[in-house]
Structure 1
C-alpha cells in the first residue's frame, strides 16, 4: 500500500509547465499551467497546500529548464521524484502512451508512481550541483584551449612554423610566451643576440644556461624559415591574440580546478581520497569524478551507475564469456568520457602502480583478435565503476592485493 497517493505530475517546458493532479490513479479536474518563475511556483505551492497530505511531485529532468522547479521544491521541503527522460519515456510507453501532448505527459508522469513506484532519494547537497557546474565550465575551457592551440598552429605555418620545435612540447606558458615575443622569424633576425637573450631570460622558468641555448636555437630556426606572410601581416596579431587567449584560458582552468577541489573537500573529502588511491587517478580526475558522478552512496547497485553514465549494455561481458558490449551512450556523457580516459591513464602508470583493471585490460587485449580495443576499454570501465562503488560503499582505499583476490571487482 502506497503511503503517498496524491501525485502532481509536471511536464516541464522552457517557460511554462503543465500540471496534472492524480489521486489514487484518478485525474482530478483539468490540467493547468504554471510559469517557471516565482509567480508560477507560488500558484503551485497554493495548490499543494490544499491537501492535508503533502503531495509528491513527479517530473522529468529536462536539463536547465527543470532546475528552477527543483530549487523551489527543495527550498519548501516538498518531496519529488526527478526522472531521467529516457527512463520516464520507457515507463510511460509501458503504460501504452500513444499521444504526445503536455496534458497527457503530465498525467502519465503522475501515473508512473502508481503503476511502477520509484524509490525516492534525498536531494544531494547543493555543493554537488555547483561542482557539476564547475566541471562543465572546466570542460568549456579545455575545449577552448584546444581550439586556440589549433588556430595558433595554423597561423604559425605562414609566419614562423619552425618555432614549434623550440621546446620539447609546443604548449604551456613558457612556449606561448616565447612565441608571443617572436611570432615571426624576422622578429628574431631584427634583434641582436643579447637582446634576444635578455628577452628570454626575463621569462619566468628560464635560467641563464637555458636562455643561451634557446637564443642559439631561435637564430638557427629563424634563418631556416621562409615565411609566406611578412612581419607586419595581420597574421601576427592573430598569433598574439591566440597566445593571450591560451594564457588566460590556462590560468582560468587552474583556478577552476582549485575551486572544484575545495568544493569536493566540503562535499565528500573521503570520496576524493578513495578515488585518488586508485592507480592512474590523479587529483584533477578525482575531483571531476566527484563532480560528475556525485555521491555514489545514493545508488543501490553499480549497474545503476552504469545506466547513469550511459554504459549499460544490451549484452554483458562476464567471466570467460565475451559478449558484444553495445552501450546505450545515454546518460552523463562527460562522466563517460572521464572514465574512459581514466583507463588510458591507468595503462600509462601500470609499471609502477599495478591495478587489477589494467591486468584485465591487458589480458583481454592479448586474447583479442580484433584490431580495436574499444569494447575492452568499455568492459574495463564497468570494472572501474564496480571497484569505485565497492570502495565507497565499504569506505576503503584501493589495495591491489585485495582487489586481485576479490573476483567481484
Structure 2
C-alpha cells in the first residue's frame, strides 16, 4: 500500500514544463504549464501547498534542463522521483501508452508510481553534482587534448617529423616544450650545440647529461629531415599555437583533478582511501569513479549499481519466449568506460599488485570455453562493482587474501 497517493507528474522541456496532478490514479483538473525559472517554480509551489499531504513529484532526468527543477525541489525539501529517460519510457510503454504528447507524458509519469512503485532515494550532497560536473569537464579537456595531439602530429610531418622520436613517448609537457623550441628542423641547424643545449636546460626536468644526449639526437634528426614547409611559414606558427593549447589543457586537467580531490575529501574522504587500496586504481581513476558513481551507500545491492552503470543484462520477452540480451547500456556511459578501463589497468600491475579480479579475468581468458574478451571484461566489471560496493558498505580497505576467500566478490 502506498503512503504517498498524490503525485505531480512533470514533463520537463528546455524552457517550460507540463504538470499533471494525479490522486489515487485519477487525474485532477487540467494539466498546466510552468516556466523553468523562479516564477514558474513559485507557481508550482503554490499548487503543491494546496494539499495537506505533501505530494510526490515525478520527472525524467532530461540532462541540464531538469537541474533547476531538482534544485528547487531539494531547496524546499519536496520529495521527488527522478527517472532515467530510458527507464521511464519502458515503464510508460509497459503501461500501454499509445500516444506521446507533453500532457500525456506528464500524466503517465505520475501513473508510474501507482503501477510500478519506485524506491525513493535521499538526494546526495550537492558536492557530488559538482564532482560529476568536474569529471565531465575533465572528459571534455581530454577530448580536446586528443584533437590537438593529432593536429600537432599532422603539422610536424611537413616541418620536422623526426622530432617525434626525441623521447620514447611523444607526449607530455617536456616533449611539447622541446617541440615548441624546435618546431622546424632548420631551428636546430641554425644554432650551435651549446645554444641548443642551453635551450634544453631551460626546460624543467632536463639536467645537463640528458640535455647533452638530446642535443646530439636533435642534430642527427635535423640533418636527416627534409621539410616541405619553410621555417618562417604558417605551419610553424600553427605548431606553436597547438603546443600552447596542449600545455594549457594539460595544466587545466591537473587543476580539475586537484579540485576534485578537495571536494572528495570534504564529502567522502574514506571512499577515496578505499578506492585507492584496490590494485590498478590510481588517484585520477579513483576520483573520477567517485564522481561518476556517487555515494555507493545509497544503493541496496550491487545489481542496482550495475543498472546505474548500464551493464545489467537486457531481456527480450515475446509470448512464452524469454531471452537474455547483451548489456543494456542505459546507464552512466562514462562510469562504464572508466570501470572497463580499470580492468586493463589491473592487468598491467597484477605482477606486483595481485587482485582476485585479474585472477578471474585471466582464468576465463585461458578457458577454451570462453569466447570474446569483451564479455570477460564486462563480467570482470561486475566483480569490480561488487567489490567496490562491499568495501564501501563495510568500510574496509582491499585485501587480496580476504577477497580470494570471499566467493561473493
- Normalised by the size of structure 1, how large is the TM-score? 0.96
2: CA distance between counterparts of 1:391 and 1:307? 19
What residue in structure 2 maps to residue 152 of structure 1?
Answer: 152
Aligned residues: 402
Per the TM alignment, residue 197 of structure 1 is displaced from its structure 2 partner at its CA by 1.2
Aligned positions of 1:276-291 closer than 5 A: 276-291=276-291
What residue in structure 2 maps to residue 389 of structure 1?
Answer: 389
Moved more, 262-271 or 366-375: 366-375
Cα deviation digits, residues 146-168 of structure 1 (max 9, x gap)? 11111101110110000011111
1:34 aligns to what SS in structure 2?
strand
What residue in structure 2 maps to residue 40 of structure 1?
Answer: 40
Aligned positions of 1:197-236 closer than 5 A: 197-236=197-236
Aligned positions of 1:151-190 closer than 5 A: 151-190=151-190
Q: Tell me if structure 2 keeps the 8 A contact 1:325–1:375.
A: no
2: CA distance between counterparts of 1:115 and 1:166? 65
Cα deviation digits, residues 192-251 of structure 1 (max 9, x gap)? 111111111111111111111111111111000011111122110110011000000000
What residue in structure 2 maps to residue 306 of structure 1?
Answer: 306
Moved more, 84-93 or 34-43: 84-93
Q: Does 1:131 align with 2:131?
A: yes
Q: Tell me if structure 1 keeps the 8 A contact 2:364–2:370.
A: no
Per the TM alignment, residue 325 of structure 1 is displaced from its structure 2 partner at its CA by 7.0
2:99 aligns to what SS in structure 1?
coil
1: CA distance between counterparts of 2:50 and 2:325? 50
Say if 1:72 and 1:357 are closer, same or farther in 2 by CA, change over 3 A: same
What residue in structure 2 maps to residue 54 of structure 1?
Answer: 54
1: CA distance between counterparts of 2:26 and 2:266? 45
Long gaps (5+) in structure 1: 316-322
What residue in structure 2 maps to residue 121 of structure 1?
Answer: 121
1: CA distance between counterparts of 2:52 and 2:112? 22
Say if 1:211 and 1:271 are closer, same or farther in 2 by CA, change over 3 A: same
Cα deviation digits, residues 166-192 of structure 1 (max 9, x gap)? 111111111111100100000000111
Say if 1:221 and 1:124 are closer, same or farther in 2 by CA, change over 3 A: same
Per the TM alignment, residue 82 of structure 1 is displaced from its structure 2 partner at its CA by 0.6
Q: Does 1:76 align with 2:76?
A: yes
1:326 aligns to what SS in structure 2?
strand
2: CA distance between counterparts of 1:314 and 1:131? 30
Per the TM alignment, residue 301 of structure 1 is displaced from its structure 2 partner at its CA by 1.0
Say if 1:118 and 1:65 are closer, same or farther in 2 by CA, change over 3 A: same
After superposition, the CA RMSD in angstroms is 1.3
What residue in structure 1 maps to residue 405 of structure 2?
Answer: 405
Per the TM alignment, residue 51 of structure 1 is displaced from its structure 2 partner at its CA by 1.0
Q: Tell me if structure 2 keeps the 8 A contact 1:148–1:246.
A: yes
Judging by fraction of residues, say which structure has more strand. 2
What residue in structure 2 maps to residue 192 of structure 1?
Answer: 192
- Normalised by the size of structure 2, how large is the TM-score? 0.96
Long gaps (5+) in structure 2: 316-322
Q: Tell me if structure 2 keeps the 8 A contact 1:31–1:103.
A: yes
Q: Tell me if structure 2 keeps the 8 A contact 1:325–1:378.
A: no
- Following TM superposition, where does structure 1 have runs of at least 4 consecutive aligned residues deviating by more than 2 angstroms? 368-372
Q: Does 1:263 align with 2:263?
A: yes
